[in-house]
A and B are shown apart, each in its own frame.
Chain A
Amino acid sequence: MEGEIVVQRNRAKKGISTIIAAVFMIAVIIIGLSAITSGLSFQNNLGQVVTQRNTEETEQGTERIELRDVGIDSNKFNLTVVNTGPLPTKLIRMWVTNTTATTGWHKNYTLNDVINPGDSLPKLGQALSLVAKPDASYDLNVVTERGSTASFKIMSPKDTALKMSVFSSPRSSPPLGNVTLMFGVANNRTDGSMIQSITPTTPTISYTNTPGGTVAASATLIEGPTPVTERSLMMAETIFFKYVYKVNGDPKDKITFSFTIQNAKLGNSISESVEISAVATQQSVIGQITTNSGLITMNFTSFQFCAGDTGSPITCQSNSANWQGGWNADDDTKYYWRVDVTNNGVRDIFLDDDTDLFLLQVSDGGAGNIATDLYLMADATTTTEPAAYTSNFSKSIPANGQWTTLYFGGSDRAAAATQKIGDVGLHPVLVMFFGFFDENDNHTYQSGTDNDPYSQTIPFQAVITT
């Protein structure tokens, strides 16, 4: 019995130590867990801050703002900026430095503009109190809400010598010829500057007249400049302004065009000379060429005739298959005749109704010849036969190597009726041209001013009538 009590006491002692140990263990575990939890919490919070900071820096680094266009409207900047980055961006500030001002001009303006990715923001600067001048250069710094900045340089032509070029076509022009001049201005800056307000001034023209000449050199603006102005030029961009001048003068006269732009840097200009060349349109030269070969040439293979009459059925439309070539014709048939001719001069020739096809019979046995005049007629169409040439000078042979088809057959000037050849035998055929040059160069005959005459005969066709 007493032995049992001792055993129970030992058991009771073992229980207390276990409890105490357990309590300590629990306390240690709690403290340990607390430490671990705190550590993890700190780490987590720090991780969040680091992540947030990284995100902000990454986003800031991906912001890209580009200046695409610069203009000045109503004395205020009209800028177009584009968000080329992947995130929406908010512009909050713009710093402007007038780099032309020697005393220092530096201001800032508050912005509040959001640009979505890929979108552009036009008219930036129109709402600011900043007065922009086309003859001043500016440095712009745009600040975004994330803290990135985009810097742009806007230069006035006044502050930099721009690369200029000019091309004329042709470089050598006949009197009263048109010369096209292409005046190019390139942004040759390498610092990314944008050039603002490119507006060409009226070209300065100087003349060098050949001694002994009779016509003073002159240049008259026909067209241009096209375009009138260019708002801005990006880096490496070039703009061409087109001018068309009508030049006149004696051969070897020189006309020098000097181009520049408004607010250009002193000495920043370019010149191009055009020389007046001797051409067929000058009367003396025309005479010389006419003597040798004439301005008008004929396509002999195009010489055709068509058996038609002044009435129905209509058989000699312009596209009719009844037109025939060769040299065998019937002496008793009324024909329409046609041939293609080319004007190798530089001005149109309006044809007088005296223009005609002249056939001369070769008489056997030395007797006299019989001549037949077949006068110019108005053109056939795809639905009509040649008609009377009642509107004198309405038909022209276009200049510069162009060709046209002439129709003949009229029994008289401005006559609708055709006539037979009426005799049998060999016939040399000549075409006699009478007309006036298109002095006004407007492709329309103007009585009184288009009064420079021209005439020519082209032989070498032949017909045998049976």
Chain B
Amino acid sequence: MLARLNAKCTHRKSSKRRAGIGTVISSLIMVAAVAILGSVVLIWANSSLHVEKTKISDDFAKNSNLLRETFIVEDIWLSKTPADYVNITLRNIGDIALNVTSINVTAINSAGANACGSPSSACTINLPLNAVIDIKQTRTIGVGTIDWDCCSPAAQSLDITITTSRGTVEKMLWRVR
């Protein structure tokens, strides 16, 4: 009776030993899998965050530079020598240099229409530029030729649009007569 009992006990112990190894192995596998997956997720998250951070940083720099970029149209002079030139003097009053990439001038009549009757005629000019203006400096840009002193009905004002490389757009109307 005792012997039978011992035999049963031994059989149970051996079964338990086999079951424990499996658990350990499976646990190890699970732990390893979790660790690997976790690390991958962590690295991916960190990497993504870094990319986003860089992007945000670039956007921030771009926007803040756009905000810091300030200029005024200090003077506009309709020149007759050379004829039909519009001399526009810009002053950089911001704390970073800026680059004027285009100036668009359209002579418009009292009705608000192109003075020459057609946008492609001599009453409109779009001048591509690469005019860098340093901090606190001025630059006079001659835009021409544009027929601001002819046409019937005569041009009443100039519609001027100035664009910088950062995207600042300055629009203004300048009365001719």
Residues in chain A within 8 A of chain B (CB atoms): 2, 6, 9, 13, 16-17, 20, 24, 27-28, 31, 34-35, 38-39, 42, 45-46, 49-50, 52-53, 56, 93, 95, 97, 103-104, 106, 108, 141, 143, 145-147, 149
B74–A49 touching, CB < 8 Å: no
With A38-B53, A147-B93: A49-B64 Cβ-Cβ less than 8 Å = yes
CB pairs A–B below 8 angstroms (12 shown): A9-B20, A9-B24, A20-B31, A20-B35, A28-B42, A45-B60, A52-B68, A93-B91, A108-B89, A147-B70, A147-B93, A149-B72
Contact with A along B71-113 (1 / 0, CB 8 A): 0101101011100000001010100000000000000000000
B67 contacts chain A at the CB level, 8 A cutoff: yes
Question: How far, in whole Å, are A146 and B74 apart by their CA atoms in the complex?
Answer: 12
Question: How far, in whole Å, are A52 and B64 apart by their CA atoms in the complex?
Answer: 11
B46 contacts chain A at the CB level, 8 A cutoff: yes
A2–B42 touching, CB < 8 Å: no
Nearest CB to that of A97 among chain B residues?
A: B77
Nearest CB to that of A42 among chain B residues?
A: B60
Nearest CB to that of A28 among chain B residues?
A: B42
Instruction: Name the distance in Å between B70's Cβ and chain A's nearest Cβ.
Output: 7
Residues of A within 8 A of B31 (CB): 16-17, 20
Residues of B within 8 A of A141 (CB): 74-75
A2–B72 touching, CB < 8 Å: no
Instruction: Name the distance in Å between B62's Cβ and chain A's nearest Cβ.
Output: 11
With A20-B38, A31-B46: A106-B68 Cβ-Cβ less than 8 Å = no
Residues of B within 8 A of A34 (CB): 49
B60 touches which of A31, A46, A143 (Cβ 8 Å) = A46
A149 touches which of B46, B74, B138 (Cβ 8 Å) = B74
A45–B53 touching, CB < 8 Å: no
Instruction: Name the distance in Å between B160's Cβ and chain A's nearest Cβ.
Output: 16
10 A-B pairs with least C-beta separation = A147-B93, A49-B64, A147-B72, A42-B60, A53-B67, A106-B77, A95-B75, A24-B38, A49-B67, A27-B42
A49–B75 touching, CB < 8 Å: no
Residues of B within 8 A of A108 (CB): 75, 89
Residues of B within 8 A of A42 (CB): 56-57, 60
With A9-B20, A31-B42, A95-B75: A143-B53 Cβ-Cβ less than 8 Å = no
Residues in chain B within 8 A of chain A (CB atoms): 13, 16, 20, 24, 27, 31, 34-35, 38, 42, 45-46, 49, 53, 56-57, 60, 63-64, 67-68, 70, 72, 74-75, 77, 79-81, 89, 91, 93, 136, 138
With A46-B64, A56-B70: A35-B75 Cβ-Cβ less than 8 Å = no
Instruction: Name the distance in Å between A65's Cβ and chain B's nearest Cβ.
Output: 15
Name, among A39, A42, A46, A106, the residue most crowded by chain B CB atoms within 10 Å (CB to CB): A42
Instruction: Name the distance in Å between B148's Cβ and chain A's nearest Cβ.
Output: 13
Question: How far, in whole Å, are A106 and B60 apart by their CA atoms in the complex?
Answer: 42
Instruction: Name the distance in Å between B145's Cβ and chain A's nearest Cβ.
Output: 16
Instruction: Name the distance in Å between B110's Cβ and chain A's nearest Cβ.
Output: 20
**With contacts A35-B53, A143-B72 known, what are 11 further pairs, Cβ within 8 A?**
A28-B45, A31-B42, A31-B45, A35-B49, A49-B68, A95-B75, A108-B75, A108-B89, A145-B93, A147-B91, A149-B72
Question: How far, in whole Å, are A106 and B16 apart by their CA atoms in the complex?
Answer: 105
B57–A143 touching, CB < 8 Å: no
With A13-B27, A24-B42, A104-B79: A31-B74 Cβ-Cβ less than 8 Å = no
Nearest CB to that of A53 among chain B residues?
A: B67
Residues of A within 8 A of B138 (CB): 93
Name, among B16, B56, B74, B89, the residue most crowded by chain A CB atoms within 10 Å (CB to CB): B74
Question: How far, in whole Å, are A141 and B60 apart by their CA atoms in the complex?
Answer: 37
Instruction: Name the distance in Å between A447's Cβ and chain B's nearest Cβ.
Output: 73
Residues of B within 8 A of A27 (CB): 42
A45 touches which of B46, B64, B74, B136 (Cβ 8 Å) = B64
Residues of A within 8 A of B75 (CB): 95, 108, 141
Instruction: Name the distance in Å between B27's Cβ and chain A's nearest Cβ.
Output: 5
